[in-house]
Structure 1
């Protein structure tokens, strides 16, 4: 298993699906290279009133999926939820996009597919979207 070669801080993902009831999710994650043992870790500093801890396993699983076997330390630093529209599937999706963005920022993968207003992903060094002619 390879490890993330550089720190990638401030990856934010917001999932806002407007069809039906959600899902909604918001996370901010800092990624660091793995420690001396080379293993991955998932840590968080977000209080339960910002992001209910029941969603943390979904975030962790999504990040693991997005990193695709690349070891890293992921520190969840902020989050948000909606009392009606938040669910595990939204946080799993947000975590996956955060992992993909960390790989892109570290030069290990392609940037995640832009999903416009439904999924917004930002990371250090993210290329600015091109404006449509006449916009």
Structure 2
């Protein structure tokens, strides 16, 4: 298993599907660090339950594992929100995949072009895809 080689902080994902209609919503801000001495994947949340219910974390975890594709990292969720109607496990799984992939691009483990497919993610060095004229994404 490869380890994340360097920290990638401030990875933000805001999943907004369905313009003008209900759809999956998810919002997380994450910091990625190289794994601890034991290696492997770790997920921690510093977000109060009222802002991001713990019941959504398993879906986020599954998405992060998929997005990191075998790269070991410690992940801290530093912020996040949910919507009582539109948030779902599906949305948080998507958010996890996007955050994990963004961390790999930010750490140089994937080429920058891979980031073009990350519709809802921003990270240091990328900026807001909506403001950059990229497909998808929405400035908030």
For the aligned pair, the TM-score class normalised by the smaller chain equals 0.7 to 0.9
Give yes or no for the alignment of 1:56 onto 2:60: no
Query: Size of the alignment, in residue pairs?
Result: 128
Root-mean-square deviation (CA, aligned residues, Å) is 1.8
Is the contact between residue 101 and residue 112 of structure 1 (CA under 8 Å) also seen in structure 2?
A: no
Query: How far apart are the structure 2 equivalents of 1:128 and 1:78?
Result: 17
Q: Which has the higher contact order (CA 8 A, sep 6+)?
A: 1
Q: CA deviation at 1:80?
A: 0.6
Q: CA deviation at 1:48?
A: 0.7
Task: Find the counterpart in structure 2 of residue 98 from structure 1.
Answer: 99
Q: Please report the TM-score for the alignment, with normalisation by the length of structure 2.
A: 0.85
Q: Which has the larger radius of gyration?
A: 1
Structure 1 stretches lacking a partner, 5+ long: none
- What stretches of structure 1 move > 3 A for 4+ residues in a row? 127-132
More moved, 105-114 vs 52-61 = 105-114
Change (3 A) 1:83 1:67: same
Q: Please report the TM-score for the alignment, with normalisation by the length of structure 1.
A: 0.88
Query: How far apart are the structure 2 equivalents of 1:27 and 1:40?
Result: 18
